[in-house]
Structure 1
Amino acid sequence: MTDNPYAPPESEEAPQEADVDAGGGGRYHAEQVGADLSIDKTATFPKVCLKCGSKNVTSFQDHLFQYNPPYIFILIVLCTLPGLIAMLILRKTAKMVIPLCADCDARWRSAKGLAMVAVVVLIGCLVVPYVMREPQLVLIGFVVGFGVFIGLLLTKVNPAMLRARKIDDSKVTIIGIHPDAARVILKRSR
């Protein structure tokens, strides 16, 4: 025993395991909100793939969900710098570990890579006209780059990943969870 009054208490016993059932996942509160699932930010998901509902989970992805109130995007358009500052201040986040099967994990990783490609294409389409000394092509570059960016996000990235519809101080509402996985999560919630 130490003489430090601030040290945690010591025990001879092994630490108690978290309240986990055979399928994995600790205790949490979850509820269905339309097609979306609202769950505690501190929840540990059961071992079921959240994208396809498979019980054959092979990987766990650390994912940072982010949410900004919808009016922030209007502020960015109307006044860019104050809008960006407001976006940084008002952004809510929730870091969660996402269980995925092998196929969904491959799609998840591919979608993350495609998101980076979309950003590079957008920046490239804006920079190339300046490098070529053709500033009149900036608008065309922006339209093409923005089109590719939005196209990749809507057709490849969003379907493969989970997104947050809303985050508050204790809950995150997630878009894109497979109905079978949602049933397992709801069944195991308290």
Structure 2
Amino acid sequence: MSTDRITRAQAAQATTERLIAAAHRAFAERGFAEVSLDALAAEAGVTRGALHHHFGNKAGLFEAVLRRIDAEIAAEMQAVWDAKADAWEGFRACFHVYLDAVLRPDRRRILFQDAPAVLGMKSVDILMESGFGDMVSDLQGLIANRRISAPDAEALGHLLNGASINLAFWAAEDPADQGRRDRAHAALAALFDGLTQAP
């Protein structure tokens, strides 16, 4: 009996994964408004009823894609953090990785065009709240170890979160390849240089 439950759970998870993968590709290529649920279900090899069962509606599926992208970006940042011997250098590097990660072509349209329209402020909350507690904890350690000069880790966390999200939106809207991505990286580097204290 438990084997049947595990098998059903595994099948449900496989269906969820196929739908999220198919939706990610479709939303990135065509945009939310142009994606048909029937076509998505067919591409994932499931019925439209299965799609509704797992996600409720197209907006629910879109939110699942957004959360998956957010988790992928977090994993990319964690890998960079783990590779750095110095905590402050790792922290700084993560923000640069984040900027490049959100501007990837397969993520850019989803994050910066469709997410605000489909989910409103909830989309920004998802992106800004992910890992926020860990970031504040890291900042507290960096302040305590005198690696950075800042009076309040939580306030600084909100400042850095807001700055990075706004820079990403600005870079994503680059109308004629004006080098906004490079300029955003330069601005981040200058901000971090201003916080840095000698080790």
Scaled by the length of structure 2, what TM-score is found? 0.25
Question: Is the radius of gyration larger for structure 1 or structure 2?
Answer: 1
- Structure number with the higher helix fraction is 2
Scaled by the length of structure 1, what TM-score is found? 0.26
